[in-house]
Structure 1
Amino acid sequence: MGPMIRGYVRVVDAVNYRIGRIMMYGIFVMVGILLWSSISKTFFLPSLWTLEAAQFAMVAYYIMGGPYSLQMGSNVRMDLFYGEWSAKKKAWVDAFTIFVLIFYLGVLLYGAIESTSYSLEYGVRSRTAWRPYMWPIKVVMCIGFFLMLLQAISEFFKDIAVIRGETL
């Protein structure tokens, strides 16, 4: 593999690793929001923002943590046959199936960008009583999809390296 591909894999993996490690603490943000929701409902007036804020935090947690999960191999696989295959055969299958993922992520990113631009242009708000703007979470989703696309391409390069008998 050339130095540009090695550099690409190194940079993408480093960025997604750091973001993933930071996003691991997002669970505490969600717990804090839901804890405040329970306390406010019990002792004070119920907060209008807590359920939706927890949903937004959950979206950010999953979307921004997805590339890290892919990088660490924590994604779900059907191991009926896969677990018994050699590393080279796994790399061949992964290199083939990653194209489906890349296509899917490309379509998802395209739709997310369109939705975000519409949301920014027209000031779309949620239909709940709190009525937050939707563009911030849509921007987070666009960034997450983009990072996942970059990580999928990085994983493809790693599979090609395994097929060629190299390491990245």
Structure 2
Amino acid sequence: MPDIVRRYVSLIDRVNRVVGLFAMYLIVAMIGILLYSSVMKAVAIPPLWTLEMAQFVMAAYYMLGGGWSLQNDSHVRMDLIYSTWSPRRRAMVDTLTILFLIFYLGVMLYGGFSSTAYAIRYGETSYSSWAPYMAPIKIIMCIGIALMLLQAFAQFFRDLALARGEELS
């Protein structure tokens, strides 16, 4: 593989590792928000923002962690036949199938940009009684999709190298 491809894969792996480790701790934030909501429900009137804020933090958690889980091969896979194949054959099949993921993520990112632009332009708010602005979470979701798309390209290059008999770490 060319040196630029190796550097790209290394850079994207590092970025997604850092973002994924950060996203991992968002669960602690979500637990804190839900704990606060539970305590306030027992003591007084629960705040309006807690449930929706927990949903936003959870969305940020799984969107920002998508690239890292792809990097670590942590996504769900039906491997009844796949697990019996050699690593090189798996890489050949993955090289083809990841193109579908790249297409899907490209369409998602296009729609995400459109939705985010709408939210920013018109000041879109949630329909709940708290009515927070939607632009921040939509921006975070677009970042997460973009990082996963970049990681999918890195995985494509890694699988392509393995299918050719090279190792790209």
**Do both proteins adopt the same fold according to a TM-score greater than 0.5, normalized to the shorter chain?**
yes
Cα displacement (A) at 1:44 = 1.7
Alignment partner of 1:123 is 2:123? yes
Deviation at 1:164, TM superposition (A): 1.2
Q: Does 1:95 align with 2:130?
A: no
What is the rounded CA distance, in whole Å, between the counterparts of 1:141 and 1:18 in structure 2? 17
| d(CA) in 1 for partners of 2:93, 2:33 | 42
Q: Which string of whole-angstrom CA distances, capped at 9 and with x for unpartnered residues, describes residues 54-89 of structure 1?
A: 000000000000100000000111110001100011
Note if 1:70 corresponds to 2:58: no
Quote the Cα distance in structure 2 between the aligned partners of 1:89 and 1:76.
Answer: 19
Q: Distance in 1 between matches of 2:49 and 2:4?
A: 46
Give the partner amino acid of 1:83. S
In 2, Cα distance between equivalents of 1:19 and 1:145: 12
* Partner AA of 2:148 in structure 1: M
Q: What residue is the counterpart of 1:16 in the other structure?
A: 16
What is the CA-CA distance between 1:23 and the residue it aligns to?
1.0
Structure 1 residues not aligned, in runs of 5+: none
* Residue number in structure 2 paired with 1:48: 48
Give distance in 2, aligned partners of 1:155 and 1:81: 21
Q: Return the alpha-carbon distance in structure 2 between the equivalents of residues 117 and 88 of structure 1.
A: 42
The equivalent residue for 2:104 is 104
Alpha-carbon distance in structure 2 between the residues aligned to 1:3 and 1:92: 21
Cα RMSD after superposing both structures: 0.5
Aligned residues: 168
Partner amino acid, structure 2, of 1:55:
Q
Measured after TM superposition, the shift of residue 163 of structure 1 is 0.9
Once the two structures are TM-superposed, the CA of residue 167 in structure 1 deviates from its matched residue by 1.2
Query: What secondary structure sits across from 1:45 in the alignment?
Result: coil
TM superposition score normalised by structure 1: 0.99
**4+ residue runs over 6 A deviation:** none
The separation in 1 between residues aligned to 2:11 and 2:154, in whole angstroms, is: 10
DSSP 3-state at the match of 2:65: helix
Give the CA deviation at 1:4: 0.4
Task: State the TM-score, normalized to the length of structure 2.
Answer: 0.98
User: In structure 2, what is the Cα distance between the partners aligned to 1:76 and 1:127?
Assistant: 33
C-alpha distance in structure 1 between counterparts of 2:23 and 2:45, whole Å? 30
Partner of residue 161, structure 2: 161
Give identity over the alignment, percent: 55
Question: Unpaired segments of 5 or more residues in structure 2?
Answer: none
Distance (whole Å) between structure 1 residues aligned to residue 105 and residue 14 of structure 2: 20
- Measure, in 2, the Cα distance between the counterparts of 1:22 and 1:58: 13
